[in-house]
Amino acid sequence: MAKRLGILVGGGPAPGLNGVIAAVTIEARRSGLDVIGFMDGFRWLVEADEQALRNHCRKLHIRDVSRIHFDGGSILRTSRTNPIKIENGIANTLHWLKTLNIDYMVTVGGDDTAYCANEIASGCGDIKFAHVPKTIDNDLPLPDNVSTFGFQTARHLGAVLVKNLMEDSRITRRWYIVVTMGRHTGHLALGIAKSAGATLAIIPEAFGMQGTISLNEVCDLLETSIIKRRAMDRAYGVLVIAEGIAERLDPEVLRQLPGVTVEYDPFGHLQLAEIELGKVIKHEIGKRFGKRGEKMQLVETNIGYVLRCADPIPIDQEYTRDLGYNAVRYLLSRNPEHSSNALIVVDNGRLKPLPFHGMIDRKSGKPVVRFVDVNSETYRVACSYMVRLEKRDLEDKPMLEKMAAIGQMKPRQFIERYQYLIRP
């Protein structure tokens, strides 16, 4: 009887999922394994209903997957079901994997799916796990020059959309507030803004790694960018904000804002889509200029879900083939160094697996988050092309007078009000 490899997709979609499924299936089949695809992530594995589970499993053959790597989405679908949060979820998952004679398991997902895989694997010594890191947020603990699959496609499409908005803002003389995905980090927001030449990008890391972020400070950064841009005779632009800003705003402050509902998902995360950060900021900025007798042309939009099921660009098509192939080779490897359950990393064309225990933060027990390095040259270059208040603006008398006039203040008042925003 052939050994069996199971595969599932957890968490939100990302471009390239089908590429991983295809590569895993093809290499596993070529290696003599049967491949079982579990529909909807852990959704049916956590239940006690065997028939429902069997109805949501499918044998995968090469003919099923040979041309799907071009396509967005996932033939196995996905879900955010969290076995850890469900009563008997881990026990049921272990039971069904053993009942179905699964010898190897490939999970595809982000930090939460990786954490679940780690917890399941720790109680399942006879099944070897490989986790393929997926998220358009690009925040998993891979080597610094290695992106998570899906990120490059999401950045590419996001940059195209923001470029279009840049031109729209120019010819209509209005401002766009664009909120991008990025629960904990600003990789996607910064990548999109830098590529598209957006006016400003605001990411959580710019406010330090810990603690709450002040909504007032966020709005001050945006307001001064608008004021400076107008002082440059450009009364339009696109402001890009990572949704993770909302994650670090004080929940009590959020609850007091009109139209905001504070809710949490099965993994305990704030449901950022329900916060409508763009509308909150639009309201606050509009109110500030309104007090000066101005009606700002502000439009808020969200670039998030539209990116997740895009057809992958060639770099992700190629990358996911490498990841899927290497996941299978790792699982079948007899190399003693490849005996543990691991995160599959391909760095400079070579497999460099990261053991599960190496990606877990000892203090939190959760996967380590990779943040944007705000001390890097990459970040400095991005900031140098943004329109943001700088020390030299306050030292340039004509510029200072223009900005102060737009803000309806005296130069000294403008300095006292906003100089705290100046980066060291």
Q: Which residues are catalytic?
A: 137
CA-CA distance, 186 to 388, in Å (whole number)? 17
Eight-class DSSP state of 76: T
Q: If residue 118 lies in a helix (H) or strand (E), which one and from where to where? A: helix 111-122
Eight-class DSSP state of 259: T
CA-CA distance, 326 to 125, in Å (whole number)? 21
Cβ 113 vs Cβ 10: under 8 Å: yes
For 180, the 3-state DSSP assignment is: strand
CA-CA distance, 284 to 279, in Å (whole number)? 9
φ and ψ at 5, to 5 degrees?
-115, 130
Cβ 78 vs Cβ 40: under 8 Å: yes
Q: What torsion, rounded to 10 degrees, do the Cα atoms 221, 224, 230, 236 define?
A: 20
For 47, the 3-state DSSP assignment is: coil
Q: Please, which residues bridge with residue 58 across strands?
A: 37
User: Among candidates 217, 221, 189, 191, which has minimal Cα distance to 203?
Assistant: 189
